[in-house]
């Protein structure tokens, strides 16, 4: 196999190229299900399978892109700052909404896991599914979960939120940008928030705030749940 295909540069080119294709397909088809992350993930898996490149080798290069996840999340504070006054005026609704969203996420994971007799390590891996990857993977490692499964569940949850954000809002007639942003940010973190920003700057700002607060609340609540799950 060519040295190029096993290099870090190839992993970066493959990742960016696959995402560019995903963006082009979404612009052409305009169907929410064809999210760029879904398309790019499928393309990367196909290329790795065809070339025989292992995931560990691929991630050595792709980790350079993964390292940008933190700064990209911090950049979501820009719309937050622009809408600061409105956020203060709606502080009660925002705090209640984030608390409800976080509680619903954790409760649903626990109840569904118990109902399906899911192994303990898988249950622990899924608990942080609705917070950002950086926080979720670290939390999973600390509580005895499987980081790779946590990472996959976080990505899936984010894509699910990005795809269903508008259809569910129409179905339940949610027109208030504060309510819409809270629902997206508290359930589908940064991936969903990218979609929220496309809806409106206010929706994106609320969603950005929900990411931070729901992440903090999740980190505080999970250790309290552990004694009940053991």
Give pLDDT tens digits for 168-206: 899 999 899 999 999 999 999 888 888 888 888 889 889
Query: Do 63 and 102 fall into the same domain?
Result: no
Query: Do 119 and 149 fall into the same domain?
Result: yes
Rounded Cα distance between 18 and 176, Å, is: 35
Query: Do 110 and 203 fall into the same domain?
Result: yes
Q: How far apart are the first and last CA of the chain?
A: 48
Any residues with CB less than 8 A from the CB of 148 and at least 6 apart, and which? none
What's the structural domain count of the chain? Answer: 2
Q: What is the pLDDT of residues 103-129, one digit of tens each?
A: 999 999 999 999 999 999 999 999 999
Domain that holds residue 26: 3-67
Residue with the bigger pLDDT between 8 and 158: it is 158
Whole-model pTM: value is 0.81
Q: What is the pLDDT of residue 37?
A: 84
Q: What is the pLDDT of residues 62-100, one digit of tens each?
A: 888 878 877 877 777 777 777 788 888 888 989 999 999
Query: Do 52 and 78 fall into the same domain?
Result: no
Query: Do 134 and 97 fall into the same domain?
Result: yes
Half-sphere exposure of 138 (CA within 13 A, CB side): 9
CA triple 124-130-135, angle to 5 deg: 75
- Please, which pLDDT band fits residue 2 given cuts at 50, 70 and 90? low
Q: Which of 14, 46, 67 is the last residue of a domain?
A: 67
Rounded Cα distance between 40 and 14, Å, is: 9
Query: Do 154 and 112 fall into the same domain?
Result: yes
Query: Do 92 and 114 fall into the same domain?
Result: yes
On the 0-12 / 13-18 / 19+ scale of CB atoms within 10 A, 28 is exposed
Query: Do 49 and 80 fall into the same domain?
Result: no
Any residues with CB less than 8 A from the CB of 4 and at least 6 apart, and which? 10
Task: Note the Cα 225 to chain centre separation in Å.
Answer: 22
On the 0-12 / 13-18 / 19+ scale of CB atoms within 10 A, 122 is middle
- Please, which pLDDT band fits residue 219 given cuts at 50, 70 and 90? very high
Q: Which of 27, 45, 67 is the last residue of a domain?
A: 67
Query: Do 58 and 14 fall into the same domain?
Result: yes
Is residue 32 over pLDDT 80?
Answer: no
Q: Which of 40, 67, 94 is the last residue of a domain?
A: 67
Answer yes or no: are the C-beta atoms of 183 and 174 closer than 8 Å.
yes
Any residues with CB less than 8 A from the CB of 131 and at least 6 apart, and which? 139, 154, 189, 211, 214, 215, 218, 219
Q: What is the pLDDT of residues 124-172, one digit of tens each?
A: 999 999 998 888 999 999 999 999 899 899 989 998 888 888 888 999 9
């Amino acid at each position: 196999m060519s040295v190029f295909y096993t290099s870090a540069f190839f992993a970066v080119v493959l990742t960016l190229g696959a995402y560019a294709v995903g963006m082009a397909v979404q612009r052409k088809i305009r169907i929410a299900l064809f999210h760029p992350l879904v398309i790019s993930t499928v393309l990367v898996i196909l290329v790795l399978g065809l070339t025989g490149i292992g995931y560990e080798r691929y991630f050595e290069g792709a980790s350079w892109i993964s390292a940008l996840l933190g700064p990209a999340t911090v950049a979501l504070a820009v719309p937050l700052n622009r809408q600061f006054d409105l956020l203060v005026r709606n502080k009660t609704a925002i705090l209640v909404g984030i608390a409800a969203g976080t509680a619903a996420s954790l409760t649903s994971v626990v109840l569904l896991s118990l109902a399906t007799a899911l192994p303990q390590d898988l249950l622990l891996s899924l608990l942080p599914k609705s917070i950002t990857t950086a926080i979720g993977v670290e939390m999973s490692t600390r509580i005895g979960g499987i980081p790779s499964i946590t990472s996959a569940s976080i990505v899936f949850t984010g894509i699910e939120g990005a795809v269903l954000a508008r259809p569910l809002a129409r179905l339940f007639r949610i027109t208030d940008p504060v309510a819409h942003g809270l629902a997206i940010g508290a359930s589908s973190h940064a991936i969903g928030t990218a979609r929220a920003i496309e809806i409106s700057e206010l929706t994106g700002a609320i969603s950005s705030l929900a990411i931070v607060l729901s992440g903090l609340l999740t980190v505080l609540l999970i250790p309290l749940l552990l004694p009940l799950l053991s």
